[in-house]
Amino acid sequence: MTSIHDQAMNYVYQQVLQRLLGFFSRAERTALQLLIQRLAVAAGGMERIGDFKVLAVQSGVRDNCYSLALLRAAQLTIATRAPATFQLRIASLRLNGTSRAAVENMHRTNSALFVYDDPRVEVLMVDDREVLPFDHLTWISDAGRESSRLNLLLIGHRRAWHGGFDLWDDGYLATGEFYGQIARWDGGVDALLVSDTPRQQKQFIDGLKRAATKAGLKPSPVGEAGHAGLFALLDELGSDCYQAFYADDDQARWRPEERFETCRRTTCIEIHDLLVSNLEERWSLLTEFLGFQPDELSAQISDNEFVSASISAHVRGLQASFVQGRDYESGVAQYLQRALVMMRRKRLPERLCEQAIEVFGNPATLGDQRARAAVEAQKNLGLSEAQLVCLLFAPFIEEGAGLERFLRQCHPGMLVAMPELHRAMQGQPVAEQIMQWMIDVSGLPVSLIGRLYRMERAPGSDEGGLEAQIQCAALQEAAGDPDTGNTLVDEWSAGH
């Protein structure tokens, strides 16, 4: 670049910084200085900051956009004080559950922070294990969509049918694998920025270990707490977390292969204690500067970040009506009750609670809500209602131990074909109609159903009982015992 171009770009960066700082409170300016100190210490001194590279994983949710703004402010502030500033890698993972709204929030945030044209910043996305330049206009590829769909089903089917409600654990495993690979791509990074609270970090690590166990891996039960032990855990799990399910050539490799380092030492820089302002104080920065557009209700009551609130409520209804012998409405009502406990514990505005009640607690509109959720699950996850119900029963593991139960409850006309179904899962030839029925009802090819057939259920996957405990938690909290309620609700939110 010419010196004139450099000067022009530096002026633009200074303008971005000044406008960004204009939205910061005094406490946030203090937090910014503390962040700069942490970065300098992690780099080994400010004189080494120019050779230091930080990874920020981008999800497009509210607090994630806010954290990236703080990190960008640190990068630009150091640039005004020192000969060089740190390098920044911003990376996102495309999964079927990633919403269009989240991707648009990522793009608006990146544009506002002026990172696309800054040579000190890489903006990347991963789709079907391929590292690509970030493009908000490109949706997940067909191959990525199919891989995400199959992995969700395979991990989900290794639970016990009466166990914890952890159908979406693949999101933890895919995200963990993504962390490990993007951290060693193209020279690697030196540090991962972590804005999650210790409780959120524990939930993620617990979910990652639970999913890894379902994938046939054996994560160590010990290790450093939270994200401090993340990369050691990822080293244990290896570079292909799904190898137990697939033949060697059945899944895409991480690519471009030649650009991944064999090993890279990456530390974590935690900043959860630096996120000082409350939501109301952050709102102008988020909406006016970053262009963040919230889906407030979904963000506050979803079971986890890998599936929407409407799909979570829908599957609760299906579980009640097909598995538990109740009706669909009672399952959604139970979901709503849990959500309201969480929302009121977090002291969210009452208007959000009222909105949740209107969406999920109105009998007059529940039928329409169910239909919309079914369409969303088909569109975003590639799963029909029949396939979601099959996932709830997990009938294939342990040599089809739950198959008869599943058929009696959901497909009694297929009971006479049970011997044929077992033969198909054992790899023996059966009628084409039998094979097609298995594919249609499960969403899986028969070869992968056969893999599940030969697997035991994952250790610990039959743990449950929080349905009853959550009722107790709500009563305890109402009686003035919030700590007990907090623990149970957070455990429920993380793993159920």
Q: What is the pLDDT of residues 201-217, one digit of tens each?
A: 999 999 999 999 999 99
pLDDT score recorded for residue 228: 87
Judged on CB neighbours under 10 Å (0-12, 13-18, 19+), 385 is middle
- Choice among 177-191, 340-354, 362-376, 379-393 with the minimum mean pLDDT: 340-354
Amino acid at 17: L
- Mean per-residue pLDDT for 450-476? 62
Q: Rounded to whole angstroms, how far apart are CA atoms 124 and 132? A: 6
Q: Rounded to whole angstroms, how far apart are CA atoms 453 and 355? A: 43
Confidence of residue 482 (pLDDT cuts 50, 70, 90): very low
β-partners of residue 92 are 125
Q: Of 199, 194, 169, give the one whose Cα is nearest residue 488.
A: 199
Given a cut of 50, is residue 465 above it in pLDDT? no
Given a cut of 70, is residue 122 above it in pLDDT? yes
Given a cut of 70, is residue 299 above it in pLDDT? no
Whether 449 and 397 have beta carbons less than 8 Å apart is answered as: no
Please tell me the pTM assigned to this model: 0.89
Write down the mean pLDDT value for the chain.
Answer: 88
- Mean per-residue pLDDT for 234-245? 91
- Mean per-residue pLDDT for 72-92? 96
Pairing of strands 87-93, 121-127: parallel
pLDDT score recorded for residue 159: 87
Given a cut of 90, is residue 6 above it in pLDDT? no
- Mean per-residue pLDDT for 130-148? 95
Given a cut of 50, is residue 467 above it in pLDDT? no
pLDDT score recorded for residue 263: 67
Given a cut of 80, is residue 79 above it in pLDDT? yes
pLDDT score recorded for residue 239: 84
Given a cut of 60, is residue 43 above it in pLDDT? yes
Half-sphere exposure of 161 toward its Cβ, with a 13 Å CA cutoff?
Answer: 24
- Mean per-residue pLDDT for 71-76? 98
At a CB cut-off of 8 Å and minimum separation 6, what does 144 contact? 94, 127, 128
Output 316 or 248, whichever has higher pLDDT.
316
Q: What is the pLDDT of residues 319-340, one digit of tens each?
A: 999 999 999 999 999 999 999 9
Pseudo-torsion of CA 232, 234, 238, 240, nearest 10°?
Answer: -170
Given a cut of 60, is residue 481 above it in pLDDT? no
At a CB cut-off of 8 Å and minimum separation 6, what does 421 contact? 400, 403, 414, 430, 434, 438
Given a cut of 60, is residue 478 above it in pLDDT? no
pLDDT score recorded for residue 348: 76
pLDDT score recorded for residue 479: 36
Confidence of residue 111 (pLDDT cuts 50, 70, 90): very high
Q: What is the pLDDT of residues 46-64, one digit of tens each?
A: 999 999 999 999 999 888 9
Given a cut of 60, is residue 492 above it in pLDDT? no
Given a cut of 50, is residue 199 above it in pLDDT? yes
Given a cut of 70, is residue 309 above it in pLDDT? yes
> In the chain, what percentage of residues exceed pLDDT 70?
90
Domain assignments of the chain as residue spans, ordered by start: 3-289, 298-384+466-495, 395-453
Whether 136 and 106 have beta carbons less than 8 Å apart is answered as: yes
- Mean per-residue pLDDT for 272-296? 83
pLDDT score recorded for residue 484: 36
pLDDT score recorded for residue 89: 98
| First-to-last C-alpha distance (Å) of the chain | 53
Return the SS3 of 493: helix
- Mean per-residue pLDDT for 450-477? 62
Given a cut of 90, is residue 33 above it in pLDDT? yes
- Mean per-residue pLDDT for 300-326? 87
The set of long-range contacts for 301-306, using a CB threshold of 8 Å and a minimum separation of 24, is: 301/339, 301/342, 301/343, 301/356, 303/165, 303/168, 303/493, 303/496, 304/168, 304/171, 304/207, 304/493, 304/494, 305/59, 305/61, 305/97, 305/171, 306/95, 306/97, 306/168, 306/170, 306/171, 306/172
Given a cut of 70, is residue 469 above it in pLDDT? no
pLDDT score recorded for residue 453: 97
> In the chain, what percentage of residues exceed pLDDT 90?
70
Four-residue CA torsion sign, 12, 14, 15, 20 = positive
